[in-house]
Amino acid sequence: MGQNPGTCHPRMLTALEEAKLAGASIVAVNPLPEAGLINFKNPQRPRGLVGKGTDLADQFLQIRLAGDMALLQAVSKRVLDAEKAAPGAVLDHAFIEEHCQGLEEFQAHIDELDEKDVLAATGLRTEEIDELASRYLRAEKVIITWAMGLTQHKKAVSTIKEIVNLLLLRGNIGKPGAGPSPIRGHSNVQGDRTMGIWEKMPEPFLNALQQEFGFDRRGTPASIPWTASAACGTAGSRCS
């Protein structure tokens, strides 16, 4: 969601291809039918150079701009409706009981969702949303990825909360092969998200790193000053 991997972070296409060849189902949600998300011809593999490539997206949803939050809520509603029809068989109740709060309030909010408003906001058909919800319900593990198309939107926080809400309903956080995955494109920025890097590292985090990786951090400052030379390569150089 909110990303064009073929244009903005093409190395991700290789990871998506590997996932698809391993049996993953991929859904692309994008106002733009980007060629790379639909079919990827990997230049590092013979089938990409002379073959037909790899079909990536099993379902493509050409959503309207700013329609992502409505789509996510619509899928959550279908998940909750499925739980009503088969109590105890859809939601991950053990996970929710241990790790979540506010399910009743969320249910009440989602129950007020108007399908006509959803279709108007997303530009999609009910059948398309039903198919997406069915894919989610069939999957044992789900990863939802997004990039700046959501992160830099004026309703970014609310939309990303809906991603997390949807994942929480079936325990798709905190287990291998599942979870929210913000994509940043630049290796340094992505590394910050993955590793928790910060220029003013708190003592508990540094202590945890020492314990995990077995190195002696005595004398390591809790705050490492940022310098142009460290960031750009040589003193006096300019980042472009």
In a domain, 17, yes or no: yes
pLDDT of residue 180: 95
Total domains in the chain come to 2
Contact 3, 147 (CB under 8 A): yes
What CATH number is given to the structural domain containing 121?
A: 3.40.228.10
Residues 224 and 160 in one domain: no
Residues 104 and 215 in one domain: no
pLDDT of residue 240: 30
Residues 117 and 226 in one domain: no
Residues 125 and 224 in one domain: no
Residues 67 and 176 in one domain: yes
Structural domain containing residue 216: 198-232
In a domain, 188, yes or no: yes
Residues 13 and 36 in one domain: yes
> Which residues of the chain register pLDDT less than 70?
185-199, 217-240
pLDDT of residue 37: 87
pLDDT of residue 187: 56
pLDDT of residue 194: 59
Residues 87 and 203 in one domain: no
pLDDT of residue 52: 85
188-189-194-200 Cα dihedral, nearest 10 degrees = 90
pLDDT of residue 35: 87
In a domain, 74, yes or no: yes
pLDDT of residue 229: 32
In a domain, 238, yes or no: no
